[in-house]
Amino acid sequence: MLEAGADPQVSDHRGLTCLDHALTYGRLGITDLLLTFDNSRINRYQRKHKHIGRGANLWIDAICINQWDTKEKSLQVAVMDRIYTQATFVAMWLGKDEGHAAAAAQAVDKLFVAAGSKHLGESGIVPYRDASPEVYAHAGIPYISMREWMALAALYLRQNFTRLWCLQEIVLQDDIVMYVGEVEVPFHEFLMVTEQLHILQQKFAVPPSTMFRPFYNAPIEAEAHLISELRMRKAIDDAPESTRQAWFNDTRRFWRGEGKPSRIPLSEMIMSTITFNCYDPRDRVYALIGMCKDHPESPELAINYDKPYEEIYTDIMRLMLKGVRGQDQPSLAMVGCIKDSANKQNENLPSWVVHFGQPGISPFRMYYFSAAGSESETFDLDLSSSGRYNELVVEGKRIDVVKDAATKRPGRERVTMFDFDPAWTALVLSLPQVYSYTNQPRTEVLWRTLCADSTATEDVVRARNSQSEQSQDSGMHGQKRDSHSSSPSSYAHQFRDQLCAMLLAHAERAADSELRFKLTRGGILLQALMSLQLREGGVNAIRAPSEEEIAHITDTSLAGPHFSSPVMQEALAELEALHQADNTEGGGPGCATPSLDQVAAYLEDPKWRVWRKNALPGDSTVVAQYTTDADLPEPASDVQAMDDLPPGEEGFRAQFSRYNGGRRLFVTGQNQFLGLGAMSMGAGDEVWVLKGSKVPFLLRKMGEEEEEDDDEVARTSGGKGKGKPKIQRTYYKYIGDLYVHGIMHGEAVEAAGEWEKIVLI
């Protein structure tokens, strides 16, 4: 602001200057800047940027709104959209230039040439990866060095593209000027490059940009891509009819239906911005109202910062149940976005209400499924309200009860997700050899469940089991794939390799941990403290491990120390028992899990790994190869060796990564279903199929209550009768969405009796 010409000597209505306020609030950094700022820099900056002058009126919400006065904040936030719409332009300063801004601008400039012809998205270039100039020349794209890719990644990771409040100022104003330090990055070129990079990354089962942030987040340019999309939607709506018709072929992906604006309503906008950050949870709604204010499908909400966000979210959730993404029919799809209600950690927020912005919202892809059959898109809004804000009345069928579940794992990081779980083999052995609901071998049911029986890339045709696949694809027994299966049979071999790689990771991680304990300074000190209990003749027993001991520690074979525990020995025995019983050579239905001989062969010569040393937190090996700049992005702390997968063999692993974080396997008691669901599930939780949902839900019974049936009284006696009839209400807590193999396409609904009315709280 100072460099843009702001006068630090200007005082407010009380005669206080910026320096006075900085001293009052203890902002020592700002105080130091105001005391040391060289005014001559203003003139130099103004000569370079003539459109910014000392007479310009600037709006900066952090200064122009009293953030501690809820009434003022409510009033000002309600008109912020007008400020940005009526502004001459918006200057977006991304922060100081730490030395890579020029490289980022150069990368944008080079990629813009290819992006303008839409050639970039169609090329075979792998973004954010090192490649030779010859590879780029063959693709017809100017050479981008790894340093330039890293600088561009740092640009996308700046908070301006992830802060929710920055969204409306960028979307509502047509004229945007973007700077990093004093380096200007042409904004329209930047957005066009973003669109093409987004298309390019969608072609990979695992986006290459996962090296910069964890896989369970979107690719690093996802937020900037949404900005580009929202600006385009606004431009379409603002353009004359003749212009819209001329644009139609290029913009039809933004078409939402006859008579509907291209801009998206508030309910969908909230879900589209789930990866953005904000401090106040109410801003998940309030920061978006200005962009959706005049949309015919958006509710008119009064901004009130004195209202608890739990009530705001519940009100919005009820509106969402009426339909989103252009749907005219109501749906429970929004409830399915909660994969584990325990993550919300807020007792005042009903279990069926999404905590917008909650990390880990990763629903099963509902377009694959129709668990409620013909009722999958039938939700009766008249039932949805019981008179209490926290209750949702639904109709459903109880399918089964959870009997046992796999091991709980902390967090959602890949390192824990790819831990070998010995409980898998025990759960699968409890199933019949042939899964009666799909006529598939139980180990095939295992891998299909772990990937939610779905394909990895968005550009795969969504119709299940196309004719061409049926002609080529066969099951474990030489049979055609089940008509309700979506994953290709090649995933079975990828699953087998991954299981072996997970066993290898178990041994390698244990070996690495033990070596660090034996050899690092911290470990030696700890051993020294422990050895105080182990003195012999006054001689400390601590010593460095010998070469023989190190060789023993690093032995990752099945005979090595890391598979010697009783738990691992039992799991390996069960793995071999599965293979012996189910192998077709032994007369079984077929086995997708490896034998111990196959595991041993893999451990000796692995195809790829799911863990390696330089994936540990704090390791910056990859960055150090290219730069010493402190602010360039380091690889995410849980990055795995995704590049080690042979081309075409990343499909199963990508789907496993998508759905297993925060979920675990389970089996039910009566029908012996195998499924994948919330980490917080427990024995006794119930599997339900509800009207209006395409996937099953896991519910936990919270009790029953007898209540007066006011509706029945109103129908029979106008509400004046004596002795009001009673109804029994059963209350459930929503736990999470489920994948249950064999019931995802309406198979269980017909045999489950009548629809039952229950209440979610």
Q: How far apart are the first and last CA of the chain?
A: 49
Residue environment code for 405-416, b if the CB has 16+ CB neighbours within 10 A, otherwise e? bbeebeebbbbe
Residues of the chain whose pLDDT is less than 50? 40-50, 326, 458-484, 537-539, 614-628, 637-643, 712-717, 719
Domain contains 9? yes
Contacts of 580 (CB under 8 A, 6+ apart): 586, 595
Cα–Cα dist 122/745, whole Å: 35
The SS3 assignment for 404 reads strand
Do you know the residue count of the chain? 761
Contact 738, 696 (CB under 8 A): yes
Domain contains 69? no
Cα–Cα dist 634/153, whole Å: 10
Cα–Cα dist 598/496, whole Å: 9
- Give the residue from 365, 212, 505 showing the smallest Cα distance to 513: 505
Cα–Cα dist 429/425, whole Å: 6
Residues linked to residue 398 through DSSP beta bridges, in sequence order: 688
Looking at the structure, tell me whether residues 390 and 513 fall in a common domain: no
Contact 447, 652 (CB under 8 A): yes
Contact 613, 512 (CB under 8 A): yes
Residue written as token pair 């010409």:
5
The SS3 assignment for 335 reads helix
Residues linked to residue 675 through DSSP beta bridges, in sequence order: 666, 740
The upper half-sphere exposure of residue 142, i.e. CA atoms within 13 Å in the direction of its Cβ, equals: 12
Q: Is 128 exposed, middle or buried (0-12, 13-18, 19+ CB in 10 A)?
A: buried
Angle at which helix 283-292 crosses helix 309-320, to 10 degrees, equals 50
- Give the residue from 412, 141, 168 showing the smallest Cα distance to 283: 168
Domain contains 127? no
DSSP designation for 90? E
Contact 403, 673 (CB under 8 A): no
Contact 166, 156 (CB under 8 A): no
Domain final residue, candidates 619, 651, 683: 651
Residue written as token pair 């794992």:
409
Cα–Cα dist 527/566, whole Å: 25
Looking at the structure, tell me whether residues 501 and 631 fall in a common domain: yes
Domain contains 150? no
Looking at the structure, tell me whether residues 638 and 685 fall in a common domain: no
The SS3 assignment for 619 reads coil
Looking at the structure, tell me whether residues 597 and 732 fall in a common domain: no
Strands of the sheet with 90-93, listed across from one edge: 90-93, 176-180, 183-184
| pLDDT at position 316 | 87
| Residue 47, both tokens | 């000569």
Looking at the structure, tell me whether residues 644 and 673 fall in a common domain: no
Looking at the structure, tell me whether residues 672 and 636 fall in a common domain: no
Cα–Cα dist 231/191, whole Å: 10
Contacts of 38 (CB under 8 A, 6+ apart): none
Looking at the structure, tell me whether residues 673 and 646 fall in a common domain: no
Degrees, nearest 5: CA angle 225-271-666: 115
Residue written as token pair 């940009």:
209
Domain contains 234? no
Looking at the structure, tell me whether residues 505 and 642 fall in a common domain: yes
Residue environment code for 641-655, b if the CB has 16+ CB neighbours within 10 A, otherwise e? ebeebeeebbbbbbb
Looking at the structure, tell me whether residues 600 and 622 fall in a common domain: yes
Domain contains 679? yes
DSSP secondary structure letters along 651-689: HHHHHHHHHHTTEEEEEESSS--EEEEETT--TT-EEEE
Residue written as token pair 């009001």:
724
The SS3 assignment for 393 reads strand
Within 389-482, residue ranges assigned H as helices are 414-417, 423-429, 442-450, 467-472
Instruction: Using DSSP bridges, classify how beta strands 392-405 and 183-184 pair: parallel, antiparallel or unpaired.
Output: unpaired
Looking at the structure, tell me whether residues 640 and 668 fall in a common domain: no
Looking at the structure, tell me whether residues 637 and 680 fall in a common domain: no
Contacts of 80 (CB under 8 A, 6+ apart): 61, 168, 290
Contact 268, 274 (CB under 8 A): no
The upper half-sphere exposure of residue 138, i.e. CA atoms within 13 Å in the direction of its Cβ, equals: 7
Domain final residue, candidates 632, 651, 670: 651
Contact 495, 652 (CB under 8 A): yes
Cα–Cα dist 81/172, whole Å: 7
Residue written as token pair 């929503």:
734
Angle at which helix 651-660 crosses helix 490-519, to 10 degrees, equals 70
| pLDDT at position 477 | 32
Contact 697, 336 (CB under 8 A): yes
Q: Which domain range does residue 626 map to? A: 490-533+541-651
pTM: 0.78
Domain contains 580? yes
Cα–Cα dist 381/360, whole Å: 28
Instruction: Using DSSP bridges, classify how beta strands 434-435 and 440-441 pair: parallel, antiparallel or unpaired.
Output: antiparallel
Residue written as token pair 């009766």:
380
Residues linked to residue 277 through DSSP beta bridges, in sequence order: 163
The SS3 assignment for 450 reads helix
| pLDDT at position 439 | 94
- Give the residue from 445, 410, 440 showing the smallest Cα distance to 424: 445
DSSP designation for 57? -
Domain final residue, candidates 39, 58, 77: 58
Cα–Cα dist 460/651, whole Å: 11
Question: Which helix (H) or strand (E) covers residue 114, if one does?
Answer: helix 101-116
Domain contains 424? no
The SS3 assignment for 91 reads strand
Instruction: Using DSSP bridges, classify how beta strands 183-184 and 176-180 pair: parallel, antiparallel or unpaired.
Output: antiparallel
| Residue 438 CA: distances (Å) to CA of 435, 466, 744, 748 | 6, 18, 11, 12
Within 486-631, residue ranges assigned H as helices are 490-519, 521-531, 547-553, 566-582, 596-604, 621-624
| Residue 258 CA: distances (Å) to CA of 137, 218, 247, 326, 593 | 44, 31, 16, 10, 51
Total of domains in the chain: 3
| Residue 404, both tokens | 């046992």
Contacts of 42 (CB under 8 A, 6+ apart): 2, 3, 5, 54
| pLDDT at position 557 | 95
Degrees, nearest 5: CA angle 561-562-564: 65
Looking at the structure, tell me whether residues 545 and 630 fall in a common domain: yes
